[in-house]
Each structure stands twice: as structure tokens, then as C-alpha cells.
Homo-oligomer: A and B are copies of this chain.
Amino acid sequence: MKAGIVTPGQKDSARLIEMDMPVISSGQALVRLLELGIDGTDIEINRGEYGETPPDKDFIILGHEAVGQIENPGTTELGKGDFVVPMVRRPDDCVNCQRGQLDMCLVGNYRECGIKGAHGFLREYLAEDVAFLVPVPKELRNIAVLTEPTSIATKGIEQAMEFHNRSANPIDIAVVLGAGPLGLLTTALLKLHDYNIYTLDVVPRSSVKAQLVESVGANYVDGNVSSVVSLADKIGNLDLIMEATGNSTVAFQAMSVLGINGVLCLMGVSTGQKPLEVNASCLNMQMVLGNKMVFGTVSSNRGHFERSVESLIHIEERWPGWLSRLITRRLTLDKFRDALDPAPDNIKTVIELT
């Protein structure tokens, strides 16, 4: 079978190779992978900034956002032809991983398919334990590749809503920073709760991103970091801010404009940013006197994947066709290297694996 691999630490090392077909063992199913989504982490890995090979290998198969179809269920309860999304993390021995909270791993020895210590899904076939395969209904076949990024947003939103519960006042205004795939999925998920949503990005109002924001009834705000500040003055108490740019300057600006009893959820990271001078005393005082909260969230567990599938169904029902509009570029497997060059106006690139 064909597989797209990289040599971690080596810039632009992405290449296609021929590999042996995987063989299933007990408890595993053979999955024919259909589609793979490319995200910023894949691009960073191909830049040599990130990534770790599986033990005893000198390369790693890229890709961690996928959907596939059961080719051979083996001894599992899955059926041939069932659609599944593979999860990303694999557990270590810590108490959280052992209870299925792979996303809250305490010791950091987890593996992440396509990222850290385990092969990813940029390939034609996968032999996988049923514990890490999440069933998806066939109606979602063409958008289920968005399940993994949706699970990241789902975890963040679920926790933010729970934390905001310490206050009797309901969430009214929610702000999403960034209108990439994560920001757009976050916008739609929040809109399922009918909050007043403002999604910010630097692209113009005529862009597809802005149109997608407005299509679900959220407000698109075209601007930069200072727009967050002026936004807070205009629209009222910012109850919830979901940070999906990974820009730490934006994150700290968001901290300072967060509303009374507000919750700021940080979902993104990016490398190579400069130190920032902050008015620590002022921030500290604002957080204390305003009962404010900032939390980070990474990865997702099986529950988040399962609830994301439910949410994708609800989004598709409420705004038919919207999710497929997030996939702005489709490439065949032999062209996957093109997906690792960020293209302007592109939202989500998907590699067709069959």
C-alpha cells in the first residue's frame, strides 16, 4: 500500500512510499482509509519543527484526521463497510490514560498517531484496535473527516460551559478567535446553543471564511488583535472566548477583555513567538475582581469523538451542506505534498486516499 511519510526533524521530507499491507491481530479491524484532513501540526512536522518516529523506525506516517471504512472486522463487533474515525492518542500507564482520559495524560508518555511515536493515517490501510475506532453513520461519509478537529472544539466548549456554570448568569455572548477549521467548527458548535457569537479573523468580509461564519448566524468581525478590545466595548460582557489562532499575543489580549465571570478557552499553540510585556498586576486584579478563568485544552478522548459525531449530525441538519464547504481543497494521495504548503484562502485540505 502507499503511505505518506516524513522524517521528523528534517525540513520538507514528506514523500510517498510503498509499504506492506498491515495485518490485523486479535481485537483489531482492518480499515480502508478514505480521506485524511491536513492541519497545522502536519505542516509543522514537515517543516521539521515537531514530530517523533515510532520506536525503531526512522520515519513516521503523517496524518491524524481521518475517516475510513471497515474492510475486515476480524473478531470485532464492527461490520464490513461500517464507517469509522480513528482516534489520535494511544495511552500510557498513567491513571488518566488507563481510565480512557487519554487527553488528560499525566506523564506524557502517550503516543499520537501521525505526530508522536506512532504511525498516522496518511495511507491506504490501517490495522487498528476497536477501542480506537469511533463509528460514524454513513450519511456523514463525506464530512466525517472533520470529526477529529470537531472533537477538539467539543472538549473545549464542554469544559468552558461547565466552568461557566459557577455563575448563575447564562452564557449570552461568545467570541471565537480565528476562522480556520477549528474556529469555524467551534462557531457552529456554539451556535447549536444559540449564543450570540462573534468570530474574528484577519481575512476580509468578502472571504469564504466570513461567509461561512455568517451562514450559521454568527457575526463575522474582520480585524486584528485590537478588534477584540473594541468589540468588548461595543457588544457587552464577553462571557466566553474560544481562542483558536494559537497566537499568544491574541491569547493575552483576550485575557484582558474577557467579561465578568468570563471563561477563556485556549485551544491553539504556535511556535517561535516573541516575549510579551504584560501588565501582570492589572491582569491579576482583573481576573480576581472579575471572577475570570483561563484554561488550556489539548487533544480529546473517545467521549469527545462520539459527541462530535452527534454534533456533526446536528450541524448538518441545521445548516445542510455547510460542513462540506469547509473542505476547500481535495488532493489525491500522490499529490499530498501540495497540501503541506499553506494556500491563501484555503480552509481545510483533504487527501483522497482511495
User: In the complex, what residues of B have CB within 8 A of residue A142's CB?
Assistant: none
Query: Are the C-beta atoms of A280 and B290 separated by less than 8 Å?
Result: no
Is A167 a contact of B281 with CB atoms below 8 Å?
no
Chain B, Cβ-Cβ closest to A288 = B296
Nearest residue (CB) in B for A267 is B288
Interface presence of A185 (CB below 8 A): no
Q: Indicate if the CB atoms of A292 and B289 lie closer than 8 Å.
A: no
| In the complex, A101 has a CB within 8 A of chain B | yes
B296 pairs with A94, CB closer than 8 A: no
A273 to B284, CA, bound (A): 11
Which residue in B103, B273, B296 is a CB contact (below 8 Å) of A292? B296
Q: Number of copies of this chain in the oligomer?
A: 2
Q: Find out whether the CB atom of A280 lies under 8 angstroms from the CB atom of B248.
A: yes
Complex: chain B residue closest to A101, CB-CB: B168
Question: Please, which residue of chain B has its CB at the minimum distance from the CB of A289?
Answer: B298
**Chain B residues in 8 Å Cβ range of A279:** 275-276
Are B284 and A290 in contact, CB atoms less than 8 angstroms apart? no
Give a binary string over A145-165; 1 marks a CB under 8 Å from any B CB, 0 the rest.
000000000000001001100
Q: Say yes or no: B261 contacts A169, CB within 8 Å.
A: no
Cβ–Cβ < 8 Å partners of A105 in chain B: 260
By a CB distance below 8 angstroms, the chain B residues around A163 are 163, 293, 295
